[in-house]
Amino acid sequence: MSNLPTNQVLVSILQMLKEQAIFAHRQQGWITALWETIERDDELQSRLKQHPRYDQGPQPNLQRIDVLTRNIDALIQRLKH
């Protein structure tokens, strides 16, 4: 990978992707804590399920954030050299 301007752009994009992945991982933890709190209150749980934006679809697997960020870091290093 020898095109320096392209590599610099790709490095910037990968760094942004890494920041967003870390943020999404933190956000998932906060949402999990919130859900566990709501789950203990039947009224809140019922009201939540009636909300138009309530979604029980599949969640992304953010448990592997360490692997994702290591792979991003490896790509960044490869692009820098």
What pLDDT sits at residue 68? 87
What pLDDT sits at residue 60? 64
For 29-50, write each residue's pLDDT tens digit. Answer: 999 999 899 999 999 999 988 8
% of residues, the chain, pLDDT over 90: 51
pTM value is 0.65
Q: Domain extents for the chain? A: 20-51
Please name which of 22, 32, 20 lies closest in space to residue 59, comparing C-alpha atoms.
32
H helices of the chain, where?
Answer: 4-39, 42-50, 65-80
What pLDDT sits at residue 61? 66
